[in-house]
Structure 1
Amino acid sequence: MTDVKFSKEETDRLVNKLKAYFDKEFDQEIGAFDAEFLLDFIAKELEPVFYNRGLADAHSLFSDKVDELGYLIQELEKPAL
């Protein structure tokens, strides 16, 4: 798996969200450097958990749709003699 890379715009948006979160929840201002450092940590250390959860959710959805398709195909069967 490769490291998560954010565009400049994504990084700016996420850094601003982290700064706002710290200000609101902890009544503490953090600078852009600290917020970007935290973002890098989260991306590196926590991303695999979220990535794997996304894969599991996609697999579950796909399996449900395949099962549904199987039932629809069975409904098309014609009676045999």
Structure 2
Amino acid sequence: MKITYYPEDDVIYIDLQDKPSVESEEVSPDIVVDFDEEGIPVGIEISNASQKVRFQDLEIINLPVSGLTLKKAA
């Protein structure tokens, strides 16, 4: 999973799986879910993100992963 913020567009995109999307559905104003060919969600786009997401409150809790890497864009 990858979470990317695009400041020039004020959009957050959450890649859930490394699969192409074939269909998208706006599930709420400014929130679009992308689906693969089997109807499984592969991504979530949040527009006007700075108005909807509190970036400073980001927490990662109980994920079953080791070696988590945080990257900051250059």
TM-score normalized by the length of structure 1: 0.24
* Higher Rg: 1
